[in-house]
Every structure is written in structure tokens, then in C-alpha cells.
Amino acid sequence: MITYTTGNDLDLDAVIELYRASTLGERRPVDDRGRMAAMLANANLVVTAWDGDLLVGISRALSDFCYITYLSDLAVRVSHQRRGLGKELIRRTQTAGGPKTTLLLLAAPAAEKYYPRIGFTHHPQAWLLPPGDSVK
């Protein structure tokens, strides 16, 4: 039975192991414990999925709880994918963000076909300033 909790007081090793087991670790600094710890500590809306004592999913977001919730990470352990955990993590994140809050995310290339199937619409306007670059 899968249970869900909200909060970012989590064991960092369990979170890093989940990222690696979900393939999100390929695009996150999982070998930089300090950065991963800061990412977790500074997220103000974290929803997790548990299979007993095993962390099997996480939604890590930043929200103002009235206008926008930026879903920065959605990770489900490969062994637990295709069971609706990702949808439920998103649903709980959206609910916790507030009734008038828009949920915004940037999809990894491998997940681009997933999000439209669960109700997201594509928005072509996104601008990035990578680390190390500066405003000109």
C-alpha cells in the first residue's frame, strides 16, 4: 500500500537513492550532497510517496500558494512507475499549492509525451539563464 506525506524533513541518502532509481538523477547533481541537501531544504512544497519504509516517489516544488507552483522535480522509482504514483504526487502538489494556483513545470525530453496525457498544456514561452552566465 502506497502512503503519501508532505514535508521536506527527509533522509538525504534516501532522496538521492530515489533520484538515481528514477532516472532523474541523470539530470540532477546527485553526487553533490551539499547541493542536493540545499535543493531539498529550500523547496517549500515536497510531497513524497512511500511503499512501506521505501521512498518511491517525490514531488519537489516551490510555491507562493496563491498564484504559481513550480514543480521542479517529479521522480518515481522505475520499479513503481505506471501505477499512478506520478499523477497522485502531482494532484497532491496542486491541491497543496492552493485552489487558484497554476502548476508549472519543465519536462525532461523523455517525459514530454507524459504530461499532455494527464492534462498539462504546452506553453512555448520559457527563458533560461544557465549557471555561470550573466545578464548582459
Q: How far is Cα of residue 91 from the mean position of the Cα atoms in its chain?
A: 12
What are 6's three cell numbers? Answer: 508532505
- Where does the pLDDT of residue 112 fall: very low under 50, low under 70, confident under 90, or very high at 90 and above? confident
Among 57-61, 94-98, 104-108, which is the least confidently predicted range? Answer: 104-108
Check residue 41 and give its pLDDT.
Answer: 97
Q: pLDDT, tens digit, for every residue of 27-85?
A: 999 999 999 999 999 999 999 999 999 999 999 999 999 999 999 999 999 999 999 99
pTM to 2 decimal places: 0.90
Helix (H), strand (E) counts: the chain = 4, 5
Q: Where do the domains of the chain lie, and which CATH numbers do they carry? A: 2-117 (3.40.630.30)
Phi, psi of 86 (to 5 degrees): -60, -45
Query: What are 73's strand-pairing partners?
Result: 60
SS3 55: strand
Q: What DSSP string describes 22-50? A: HSGGGGTTTT-HHHHHHHHHH-SEEEEEE
